[in-house]
Amino acid sequence: MAVPRRVNMKNKKIRIGVIFGGRSGEHEVSYWSAVSVINAINKEKYEVIPIGITKAGKWISPKESWQALKSGKIEGESSTVLLNSSSSNPLVEISNNSGSNIFSVKNDIDVIFPVLHGPYGEDGTIQGMLELADIPYVGAGVASSAISMDKDLMKTIFKQKGLPILDWMTIKRKDWKEMPEKIIEKVNEKFDYPLYVKPTNLGSSVGITKVHGYGELKTAIDVASFYGRKILIEKGIEKASEIECSVLGNDDPRASVIGEVKPAGEFYDYTSKYIEKKTQLIIPAKLTERLSEKIQYMALEAFKAVDAAGMARVDFFVLKETGKIYLNEINTIPGFTVSSMYPRLWESSGLSYAALIDELIQLAIERYEDNKKNKTSYDSDI
């Protein structure tokens, strides 16, 4: 497989910039994903350059990022930026010394591995910046990331592709503040209880509430509105298994074995994922071979529907009595700790955590080289 022209072959190691933290409700999850990736990556093949982003959105230097990884607090005095260059991608540190800015080139970076979950990381924003910087990066592109992060747009695409999804409606925070009674009336006309209320643009179950009845609806919408301007209200189902499948690849993706989540709480919320220790991840899920194959097929179709690349975890609900499958969502930068479902499903499929990281980096290079084949000027002779 070809390597990008930026790789320093004299050094013989590919320099991987691991970006973590970020201005998101999933800041802490990102930190733990970064720790896991950096601990597991093949140090003989790759040189890691950590790039932390504070909760305020400030990029800090690699030196301070190493300190942040040790302390668990992503903070620092220096600022770091990525600049576009025709021959390399320098990571530049900007420091303020005696009132004057000093710029110093710190590192060349060959590939970026973003482990930024949620807004400003998984939603196409950083992907767009990396495209402008002309640097390969792990994961989905700009459009795919943006669509997959916005659950309303994602469901619209899935519905257009004929994939089975639960009924939903989306409201704006502005409308909720101005006419809450009218919105509650519309929700009650459209749905029976239970239902789920969540911000459209967050993962890790941040801001999500299971609503059992009318009296809980207002509070649930208020909570979701704290995290985003668009709020998704979705039909809830009972007696359903929460099923997940990992997908890996670019134009020819493949699906992992199937896993089932048995949450510690009533559903797989933030507490069940990251705080409670009683949630069970059952791998492989106890499903029939035919049902597992249908889920794998559907996961690949969801991946292709949003034009994802590199990696994604696709989540489903499966009714226990009938086996009917509902596609829930796709996550283009899933949780990536050693205990997260995405790498664990691949480990059960025969791909170790370190080998998974390696393949994702190679897929990033492959997609970058393919994009480089695109002409950037009009040729009348074609």
> Residue 102 phi/psi, 5° resolution?
-120, 125
Q: What structural domains does the chain harbor? A: 14-138 (3.40.50.20), 157-161+238-332 (3.30.470.20), 167-235 (3.30.1490.20)
Distance CA(334)–CA(360), nearest Å, equals 13
Distance CA(18)–CA(346), nearest Å, equals 21
Distance CA(10)–CA(258), nearest Å, equals 42
Per-residue pLDDT of the chain (382 residues; tens, 9 = 90+): 344 445 554 557 999 999 999 988 778 889 999 999 999 999 999 999 999 999 999 999 898 999 999 999 998 877 887 776 655 656 777 665 544 444 454 568 899 999 998 888 899 999 999 998 899 999 999 999 999 999 999 999 999 999 999 999 999 999 999 999 999 999 999 999 999 999 988 654 567 899 999 999 999 999 999 888 999 999 999 889 999 999 999 999 999 999 999 876 555 455 544 445 567 899 999 999 999 999 999 999 999 999 999 999 999 999 999 999 999 999 999 999 988 999 999 999 999 999 999 999 999 999 999 999 888 777 766 6
Binning the chain into helix, strand and coil, the percentages to the nearest 5 are: 35, 25, 40
295, containing H or E segment: helix 289-305
Global pTM? 0.88
